[in-house]
């Protein structure tokens, strides 16, 4: 998605060889118009999959997942992050390391909002090691729902998450793929 690449070049800040700050468009300030365009793009890619619900993890995935769910005309569910060890009985819960916070958090979705009749599209902002995605996939599987695929705004291909998910046979689509952040420069696939 050329427009997104351009925004990343203009407004993204390379924090290190591993981390790209996208606070100006995705993770702190949100550009609603760009979000809706990206939501439309994901909706088009997954339109024939019979999606019944879009699922993401709070908080950075919510805006793009909302845009996608709106375009598909289905509800959005965001997994909540909770730091307690005590899982409530009607909650499906997984423990995942947080890439940016350097801590472990529990993510959870109520059984009330996901069932074996669902065809789920997982949407998220950025994929690095894939821990958040793996946690959510486990929750979806435990609910007995079907995961039709994953839509990710920014894939950092030099980290292993996206390809590990693909190797599980899951369709994972990214809007842009970054192959390196070395030297303070964002390098995209196909550049
Ligand atoms: P993973 O679980 O795939 O290692 O990391 C995914 C989550 O960590 C994403 O939802 C995203 O919020 C955050 N994250 C991972 N890498 C980056 C990064 O380079 N920049 C920012 N801003 N967030 C990141």
Q: What is the CATH number of the domain that holds 43?
A: 3.40.50.2020
Residue 76 CA to ligand 1 centre (angstroms): 20
Structurally, how many domains does the chain consist of?
1
Per-residue pLDDT, 87 = 56
- Residue 190 three-state SS: coil
- Domain range holding 98? 2-188
Residue 131 CA to ligand 1 centre (angstroms): 9
Per-residue pLDDT, 31 = 95
Tokens at 7, concatenated? 């925004």
Residue 100 beta carbon below 6 angstroms from any ligand 1 atom:
yes
The pairing of beta strand 104-110 with beta strand 76-82: antiparallel
Q: Nearest 5°: phi and psi at 33?
A: -65, -45
ipTM of the complex: 0.98
Per-residue pLDDT, 1 = 92
Q: Hey, which of 19, 97, 100 would you mutate to test ligand 1's pocket, going by the most ligand atoms within 8 Å of its Cβ?
A: 100
The pairing of beta strand 76-82 with beta strand 20-21: unpaired
Q: Which atom of ligand 1 has the smallest separation from the CA of 161?
A: 3
Q: Show the low-confidence residues of the chain (pLDDT under 70).
A: 83-89, 191
Annotation: binding site for xanthine: 20, 27, 156
Per-residue pLDDT, 100 = 83
Q: Hey, which of 63, 64, 99 would you mutate to test ligand 1's pocket, going by the most ligand atoms within 8 Å of its Cβ?
A: 99
Residue 124 beta carbon below 6 angstroms from any ligand 1 atom:
yes
Q: In what order do the strands lie in the sheet with 146-156?
A: 91-97, 104-110, 76-82, 53-57, 119-127, 146-156, 172-180, 187-188
Residue 134's contacts (CB-CB under 8 Å, 6 or more residues apart) are 96, 161, 164, 165
Per-residue pLDDT, 86 = 58
Per-residue pLDDT, 38 = 98
Per-residue pLDDT, 88 = 64
Per-residue pLDDT, 90 = 86
Q: Which residues are 106's β-sheet partners?
A: 82, 95
Per-residue pLDDT, 98 = 87
Per-residue pLDDT, 102 = 84
Per-residue pLDDT, 163 = 98
Of the candidates 174, 171, 162, the one whose C-alpha atom is nearest the C-alpha of residue 129 is 162
Q: Which atom of ligand 1 has the smallest separation from the CA of 18?
A: 19
Per-residue pLDDT, 51 = 98
Per-residue pLDDT, 190 = 82
């Amino acid at each position: 998605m050329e427009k997104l690449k351009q925004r990343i070049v203009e407004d993204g800040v390379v924090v290190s060889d591993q981390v790209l700050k996208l606070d100006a468009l995705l993770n702190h300030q949100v550009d609603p118009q760009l979000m809706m365009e990206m939501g439309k793009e994901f909706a088009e890619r997954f339109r024939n999959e019979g999606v019944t619900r879009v699922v993401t993890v709070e908080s950075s995935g919510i805006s793009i997942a909302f845009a996608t769910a709106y375009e598909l005309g289905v509800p959005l569910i965001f997994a909540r992050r909770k730091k307690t060890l005590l899982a409530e009985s009607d909650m499906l819960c997984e423990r995942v390391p947080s890439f940016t916070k350097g801590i472990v958090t529990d993510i959870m979705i109520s059984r009330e909002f996901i069932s074996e009749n669902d065809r789920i599209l997982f949407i998220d902002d950025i994929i690095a090691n894939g821990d958040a995605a793996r946690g959510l996939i486990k929750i979806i599987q435990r609910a007995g729902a079907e995961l039709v695929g994953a839509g990710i705004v920014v894939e950092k291909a030099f980290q292993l998450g996206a390809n590990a998910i693909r190797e599980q046979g899951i369709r994972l689509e990214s809007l842009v793929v970054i192959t390196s952040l070395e030297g303070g420069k964002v390098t995209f696939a196909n550049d």
